[in-house]
Amino acid sequence: MMKNSLHEEAAAKLSREAERRFEKREVPATGAPEFSYYLDYSGLDRYNLKLDKVVAVIVPDEEIVKRISGRRTCRSCDAMYHVVFEPPAKPGVCDKCGGELYQREDDAEDTVRERLKVFAETTRPLLDHYGRLGLLAQIDGVGRTDEVEKRIISAVNGVGAQSAQS
């Protein structure tokens, strides 16, 4: 099965450290100024904490399109594969149950490109906001999970954060 490795492995490790440092929140990426305020101040004051760093993991659009549009899901058991990174033994057939593999609508290339466009429009103001505050660390998200994880941890700890081009 394909793992969404950065989100599942690295984020799980980082979340344990993050829980010691700050309150985690799920925030819609609308780019609206009120969300900047929300991210800066929500829940931190009551713990006498302040926002020290905002980490943006930057992955080029073409890499994201390749990663997402290559995903295939089994109609029967929901097993996940990738046509390049983790293909099934027999194309179009699930290794686990023999079910048909398909591409979900939200994984189609056109859909991914539209989502990336919306993401860029709604996230850029947040990145600009935190950049102006000197809190933004842009991390190169291309590479092995352990490499990206080290970059994130370095940025959070303020040690040799690597900048990525946006």
Alpha helices in the chain (DSSP H): 5, 11-21, 33-41, 61-69, 109-132, 145-157
* pLDDT value for 157: 85
Q: From the DSSP assignment, how many helices (H) and strands (E) are in the chain?
A: 6, 5
* pLDDT value for 37: 47
Cα–Cα separations (whole angstroms), residue 10 to 5, 15, 17, 28, 75: 7, 8, 11, 21, 28
Q: Are strands 54-58 and 136-140 parallel, antiparallel or unpaired?
A: parallel
* pLDDT value for 71: 96
Going residue by residue through the chain, which has 166 residues, state the pLDDT in tens, using 9 for 90 and above.
Answer: 344 444 455 555 555 555 544 444 444 444 444 444 445 555 666 667 777 888 899 999 999 999 999 999 999 999 999 999 999 999 999 999 999 999 999 999 999 999 999 988 888 888 888 898 888 999 999 988 899 999 999 888 875 444 444 4
* pLDDT value for 64: 93
Cβ burial of 138 (10 Å; 0-12, 13-18, 19+) is buried
Full set of structural domains in the chain with CATH: 5-157 (3.40.50.300)
pTM for the structure as a whole: 0.65
- Other CB atoms within 10 Å distance of the CB of residue 57: 19
What distance in Å separates the CA atoms of residue 114 and residue 147, rounded to the nearest whole number?
Answer: 28
